[in-house]
C-alpha cells in the first residue's frame, strides 16, 4: 500500500470521507443481518460446518455469475497468484468455520466479545513469530483487552468450552490470514472485491471435504427435515439470507480495505462488533449480568486504546 501523500482538495477529501463512511455503515449493517440469520439457522439446524460451506458456496456462485454476465470484470490471475492465495485461504477457512462452530455453541454476543480480543493475538503473533517489537503503550493496551475478555468469559452465564475455543481459534487464524493477505496482495492489481471472490472459491474447495467428513449428508438430511418441521418452509430463506449476507459483508469489508489503512480497518472492525453485540443481545434476549457487560466494555475499550497506541 503506497503512502497516502497526495494533496487532495477539500471537496475531494469530504467526498472520500463520505465514501468511507458509506462503506463502514454498509459493512456493519450487512454484518448484523448475517449474524442474526446465522444464529437463527444454527439454533434450528446445528450444523456449522455445512452453514459455513454454504456461505462460501453462495459467495462463489454470486461472483461467478457476476463475472459471466460482466456485472463485474473477471480478474486475470496466474498460478503464482493461486499459490500465494493458498495459505490465506487455509487461514480464512479455519477462522470462518471456528467462528461458526463457536456461534453454534454460545450466544452471538459472547463469540464477538472474545473476537474483540483479536488485536492481542495480532501483537503476540507479530512479536513471537515475526520478531516485531512494539512501543510499551501497545503492550499495555493488551492488559484491558485480555483482562476484559477473561472477565466476560468467566462471568458468561452460558459458557461453553467449544464456543470459547472456537472464537479463540478464529482470532488466531484471522491474524495469520491478515499477515498472509498483506503479502499476497503486494504488487497485485486485483480489486478488493475480486481478491475476496478468489479467496471464497479456494476456501470452499478446502472446506467441502472436511464438512462432508465431519458432519456429512446423512446428518444434514435428518437435521434439515427437523428444522423445516419446526420453522416451516421459510427456513430455506434464512439459510439463503445468512449465506448471501456473509458474502456481501466480507466483500464490502475487502472493498473498504482497498481505501483505508489496516489500522483504520481494525478500528472499524471493533465498532462493527459493538453493533453486533448490542443488536444480538436485543434480538435474542441474551441474559447478561452487569459484571459480564463490564468485561465486554473493558475489552472493547482496550482495543480502542490499542489502536491509539499503534497510531
- The residue ranges that bind ligand 3PG (CB under 6 A) are 96, 99-100, 115, 174
The smaller minimum CB distance to ligand 3PG, of residues 98 and 298, is found at 98
- CA–CA dist 190, 196 (Å, integer): 10
The smaller minimum CB distance to ligand 3PG, of residues 56 and 185, is found at 56
- CA–CA dist 142, 309 (Å, integer): 10
Report the SS3 class of residue 79.
helix
CB of 83 to ligand 3PG, least distance (A): 23
Q: Which residues of 117-130 are buried (b: 16+ CB within 10 A; e: fewer)?
A: bbbbbbbebbeeee
CB of 174 to ligand 3PG, least distance (A): 6
The smaller minimum CB distance to ligand 3PG, of residues 115 and 310, is found at 115
The smaller minimum CB distance to ligand 3PG, of residues 73 and 255, is found at 255
Q: Which residue has the cell 445468512?
A: 242
- CA–CA dist 86, 205 (Å, integer): 11
CB of 209 to ligand 3PG, least distance (A): 19
Number of other residues whose CB lies within 10 A of the CB of residue 279: 19
The smaller minimum CB distance to ligand 3PG, of residues 164 and 174, is found at 174
CB of 98 to ligand 3PG, least distance (A): 8
Q: Which residues contact 301 (CB under 8 A, 6 or more apart)?
A: 144, 148
CB of 251 to ligand 3PG, least distance (A): 12
| Residue among 187, 196, 171, 165 at smallest CA distance from 91 | 171
CB of 9 to ligand 3PG, least distance (A): 35
The smaller minimum CB distance to ligand 3PG, of residues 16 and 43, is found at 43
H-run or E-run covering 184:
helix 161-185
Amino acid at each position: 500500500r503506497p503512502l497516502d501523500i497526495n494533496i487532495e482538495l477539500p471537496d475531494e477529501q469530504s467526498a472520500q470521507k463520505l465514501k468511507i463512511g458509506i462503506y463502514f455503515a454498509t459493512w456493519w449493517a450487512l454484518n448484523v443481518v448475517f449474524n442474526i440469520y446465522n444464529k437463527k439457522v444454527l439454533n434450528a439446524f446445528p450444523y456449522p460446518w455445512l452453514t459455513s460451506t454454504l456461505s462460501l458456496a453462495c459467495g462463489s456462485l454470486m461472483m461467478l455469475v457476476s463475472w459471466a454476465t460482466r456485472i463485474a470484470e473477471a480478474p486475470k490471475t496466474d498460478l503464482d497468484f493461486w499459490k500465494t492465495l493458498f495459505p490465506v485461504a487455509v487461514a480464512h477457512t479455519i477462522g470462518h468455520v471456528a467462528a461458526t462452530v463457536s456461534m453454534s455453541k454460545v450466544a452471538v454476543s459472547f463469540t464477538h466479545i472474545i473476537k474483540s480480543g483479536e488485536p492481542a493475538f495480532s501483537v503476540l503473533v507479530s512479536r513471537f513469530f515475526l520478531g516485531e517489537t512494539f512501543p510499551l503503550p501497545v503492550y499495555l493496551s493488551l492488559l484491558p483487552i485480555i483482562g476484559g475478555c477473561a472477565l466476560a468469559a468467566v462471568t458468561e452465564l452460558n459458557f461453553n468450552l467449544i464456543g470459547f475455543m472456537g472464537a479463540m481459534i478464529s482470532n488466531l487464524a484471522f491474524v495469520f490470514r491478515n499477515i498472509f493477505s498483506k503479502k499476497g496482495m503486494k504488487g497485485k492489481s486485483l480489486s478488493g472485491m475480486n481478491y475476496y471472490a478468489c479467496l471464497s472459491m479456494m476456501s470452499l474447495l478446502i472446506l467441502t471435504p472436511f464438512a462432508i467428513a465431519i458432519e456429512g449428508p446423512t446428518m444434514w438430511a435428518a437435521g434439515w427435515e427437523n428444522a423445516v418441521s419446526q420453522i416451516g418452509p421459510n427456513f430455506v430463506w434464512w439459510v439463503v439470507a445468512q449465506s448471501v449476507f456473509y458474502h456481501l459483508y466480507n466483500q464490502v469489508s475487502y472493498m473498504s480495505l482497498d481505501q483505508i489503512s489496516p489500522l483504520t480497518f481494525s478500528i472499524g472492525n471493533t465498532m462493527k462488533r459493538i453493533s453486533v453485540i448490542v443488536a444480538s443481545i436485543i434480538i435474542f434476549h441474551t441474559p447478561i449480568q452487569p459484571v459480564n457487560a463490564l468485561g465486554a466494555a473493558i475489552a472493547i475499550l482496550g482495543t480502542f486504546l490499542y489502536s491509539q497506541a499503534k497510531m
